[in-house]
Amino acid sequence: MPRGFLFITMSRTKSSEIPHYELLCLFSNKYSETEIEPIRATVTKLLTDHGANITLEEYWGKRKLAYRVDGFRHGYYFLVEFDLDGPKMAEINNRLRLSNEILRHQIIKKHKKTAAELAEDAEIKAKIAARRKAEADAEADEISDKADKRVGVESIDTELDKIIDATNLL
């Protein structure tokens, strides 16, 4: 098989889209909330300096870790989604790995959702919310039914008096 044919086949299958990535950083607990802000800013600056187009930033705050990481039981989580060409990822990964402020980080290549997939996700979320609301309403109705069936103290006293006054207990 000629080399040119193989090259043409590969170029047809290669996507021209810029890949979409997700970066999750875990910052040390030794910093306060105010000290985390500049660290988050340096991470986003690192991404933008390398040409990343940031699409989402979420700060999850301080959370308990499942196990100790470098002696810390708590850490601050920061999630960033961005678009970037693949060759620049090695440099970003190396810089994050060498950073003293970041305990752990993970970069994942994500599938970029289409408008149809986003609409489908919104529909599913709406169905889940409706189902939860229906369950909460049913539970509230059940609680109100139980409240209606409650017996007052006076009726309990009269029933106890009937039992005590009964001549034939056995």
How far is the CA of 43 from the CAs of 61, 105, 155, in angstroms?
16, 11, 69
**Average pLDDT in the 104-122 region?**
85
Q: Which tens digits make up the pLDDT trace of 3-28?
A: 444 444 444 445 567 888 899 999 98
The amino acid that residue 109 corresponds to is: K
| 3-class DSSP state of 40 | helix
Whether residue 126 is predicted with pLDDT greater than 50 in this model: the reply is yes
Residue 167 pLDDT grade (very low, low, confident, very high; cuts 50, 70, 90):
low
What distance in Å separates the CA atoms of residue 60 and residue 152, rounded to the nearest whole number?
Answer: 49
- Give the sign of the dihedral formed by CA 138, CA 140, CA 143, CA 149: negative
Residue 70: the pLDDT is 83
- Whether 117 and 39 have beta carbons less than 8 Å apart is answered as no
Q: Which tens digits make up the pLDDT trace of 136-158?
A: 988 888 877 766 666 667 778 88
Whether residue 58 is predicted with pLDDT greater than 70 in this model: the reply is yes
- Whether 105 and 80 have beta carbons less than 8 Å apart is answered as no
Q: Which tens digits make up the pLDDT trace of 67-108?
A: 888 888 899 999 999 888 877 888 888 998 998 888 899 999
The reported pTM is 0.59
E strand or H helix at 65, and its extent? strand 53-69
- Whether 25 and 43 have beta carbons less than 8 Å apart is answered as yes
Residue 11: the pLDDT is 40
Residue 75, number of CB atoms within 10 A of its CB: 24
Cα 93–chain centre separation: 22
